[in-house]
Chain A
């Protein structure tokens, strides 16, 4: 469970999903450095504003990934006009280096976003989204999610029981494998037994007597309408600009940007707002809360 992210905690999974789709899709389909830079900065700032407690290790991994990806591209691709130097008879070009840096930035920003997304999208929220598509499939998935920890725990119990009963001797590797197989087969039998009781319990509570409805504790409220509307509007601007080629950007043979236009500027602004939206919302909430506290 995400603690402290006041931004999305109270939103419906649907609106949050739409937001993340809107913010990630442009990064995937463009190589425009402005959009990608906004995406990276926005995702990092938002993750801090949302108090996601990202570990230092995660940032370091991202940094290493960035360096590796940036370095890898010019080593393998030798297109581009501006040769920086020659290594092992292969030209290393400025264009390829910049392309590498920008694509690395894109990947890392998407990873930061995914982290925020998975922190928010706990299994029940994800299942809720899934159940919109198919209620039955979602039920099967929730049952499967329940079984994983149960089986793990039971396997440990069986292994302990067998060991303390002196039946699973651990004298050599063959004994070990044999013991492991016995534990596995016992757990499998137990799982079948278990399944029968669960099935009876489902039937006893009327599973399959008629059409099932779907209940979830999530509601699509005012906040969600606002979030969805903002996301979709900004996204529409970006898509329009993208479709008309206003911010297209080419690297090879030389770096060329399309001429600056009002539409491109509108797209940058929109993406900026979209990218920083979680941070903006969190700050608004924080300020509002501080104000409330003062009143109290």
Chain B
């Protein structure tokens, strides 16, 4: 049964000429899990926010959205608030109250339910989500993942029919994101909740979804069964970039017609089967040029110990790590493993109590009066917003003294008149980089530069960082994004409990890890060696060629007639 639909929906933001959405028609049936994908600025967020009346933006809307054949605009307040749940990408800012139990009961208090009923529902939801232990905690003490689970629970507590989620895992680390998606699957499977979710991180969402809605330039380009749509994306390279590794490999390799009888693989397991069944394994190893680092050290940690207060545990324990000049160095590792703290210590923002840190061969403590920050080192913080102080992008650049035309990358000039908080995540990263480059750093420290970005912007940031290292700047990236590290790093290091447990060039580093590695590497484990990105796998499969070419073409021939 149809639960939500849009008819001829168009929407224009005030003061804009081009519509943000045009001629949107779709219908979602009850219990469907819809993944909405599209590049930044494709209108995903606008569409999702229009589906929830309370958060709909101001602007000119034509056409209509229906909830169970009632127009959204004529729904009563209670139904509209409680039947449609909405979660955004900001874990922190959606939280209203200071205690977990109060947050869970907030919507129910708004519903005007009696106290006993609230007590029961809150208990039920806390159990379902497994957050009983957090019940008495303060909301500001929770981790990002716990906050986002709480936000979901605080919405689900009103028993909505539909959940609308706008990039809910964009700000989370991979483990927390995976937990969040697992919870969504559980809600879908066990409570048959209808879910509409927009995401950039599609590796897990795509296999979980029933259907896929692809948007581009404010229009829906395709909408249908996930597997069919995923297989049809090979003509759209920008969209394909964000798909799971299995889909990308299939799309590149399935030359038109040849794989008609083979369903598009979505998960790592399906991708592995696809490769095993279709490709030969004569060439096992992918040849990569040997990487040699330069002699000069940019940063070196020697037995660094750091803790935040006297009674707390060490955050960095005997950390020893060397980054050489001109490298693109990626630091990966779990939450709380000390990655970010190490970066802050290298930037001179946190004091260590033992060991030494040298920046370009000089003790960090000998840089006085901010000399560390002019012409030497610069850091892009995890929350880029903290870097912005002015009311337009142009003012930001002027304030920092950046010349847009002399930047080593192309700056999105269309954003110059906008407020820095209003531009997209990728544009924010570029603006942050542009500001930092004004101080002519020789060493750039970046904390999670790809957080919340779409696949296209990730490659853009990756290319920009590459061009920076080519011009001699050393770049250290702390990231959860192992796919990014695999594709761009010169060397990688894995953090665990405050020190580095292994560091190597990516194709060795990720090929040797079996859990903490890319999905492409997991897919071809034991089949091909040293292939860590989808592109590596594609190249190896091409080089090996297909299994039983003649038999396959015969089969296809039979299939066609």
Contacts and interface: CB of A to CB of B under 8 A. Distances in A.
Interface in A110-161: 123-124, 139, 142-143, 145-146, 149-150, 153-154, 157-158, 160-161
A163 B349 contact: yes
A212 interface: yes
A166 B139 contact: no
Contacts of B388: 186
Interface stretch (A38-46, A213-221, A245-253): A213-221
A79 interface: no
Interface stretch (B180-188, B221-229, B366-374, B485-493): B366-374
B379 interface: yes
B90 interface: yes
B385 to A, nearest CB: 6
Contact of A209 (B78, B373, B374, B386): B78
B269 interface: no
A197 B88 contact: yes
A201 B349 contact: no
Interface string B47-88: 000001011000000000000000000000110011001101
B109 A170 contact: no
A185 B98 CA distance: 25
Interface string A190-209: 10011001101111111111
A204 B88 CA distance: 11
Interface string B431-448: 000011001010001000
B52, B77, B98, B383: residue with the most chain A Cβ atoms closer than 10 Å:
B98
Nearest to B137: A1
A166 B373 contact: yes
A145 B95 CA distance: 12
Given A1-B136, A160-B344, A161-B387, A204 B81 contact: yes
A3 interface: no
A204 B110 contact: no
Interface in A8-25: none
Contact of B108 (A190, A197, A200, A215): A215
Contacts of A154: 386
Interface residues of B, number: 71
A210 interface: yes
B113 A166 contact: no
A131 B504 CA distance: 58
Nearest to B151: A201
A165 interface: yes
A32 interface: no
Contacts of A177: none
A184 to B, nearest CB: 10
Contact of A145 (B86, B88, B98, B158): B98
Given A165-B436, A206-B81, A190 B385 contact: yes
Contact of A157 (B108, B140, B381): B381
A209 B114 contact: no
Interface in B107-148: 107-115, 118-119, 122, 135-136, 138-140
Chain A interface size range: 35 or more
Nearest to A209: B77
Nearest to A194: B93
A162 interface: yes
Nearest to A181: B389
Contact of B369 (A124, A171, A186, A189): A171
A164 B386 CA distance: 11
Contacts of A205: 81, 96, 106-107, 110, 154-155, 158
Contacts of B113: 213, 215
Nearest to B82: A206
Given A157-B383, A157-B386, A198-B96, A124 B112 contact: no
Contacts of A1: 136
B381 A164 contact: yes
A161 B378 CA distance: 9
Which applies to chain A's interface (DSSP): helix, strand, loop or mixed? Answer: helix
B383 to A, nearest CB: 6
A150 B140 contact: yes
Contacts of B302: none
Contacts of A164: 347-349, 373, 377-379, 381, 445
B370 A124 contact: no
Contact of A149 (B114, B115, B140): B140
A181 to B, nearest CB: 10
Nearest to A205: B107
Contact of A197 (B94, B373, B439): B94
Nearest to A139: B97
B407 interface: no
A149 to B, nearest CB: 5
A207 B82 CA distance: 10
B107 A206 contact: yes
B543 interface: no
B263 interface: no
Given A203-B54, A215-B108, A146 B97 contact: yes
Interface in B399-416: 399-400
26 contacts: A123-B98, A124-B98, A124-B102, A145-B98, A154-B386, A158-B386, A161-B383, A162-B386, A163-B370, A165-B373, A167-B399, A167-B400, A171-B370, A198-B93, A198-B94, A201-B94, A203-B54, A203-B81, A204-B86, A205-B110, A205-B158, A206-B82, A212-B112, A214-B109, A215-B118, A217-B135
Interface of B: 52, 54-55, 77-78, 81-82, 85-86, 88, 90, 92-99, 101-102, 105-115, 118-119, 122, 135-136, 138-140, 151, 154-155, 158, 344, 347-349, 369-370, 373-374, 377-381, 383, 385-389, 399-400, 421, 435-436, 439, 441, 445
User: Which 4 pairs across A and B sit closest by C-beta, in order of nearness?
Assistant: A206-B81, A166-B373, A164-B379, A197-B93
Given A153-B140, A165-B400, A213-B113, 5 more contacts: A123-B98, A124-B99, A205-B158, A206-B111, A214-B109
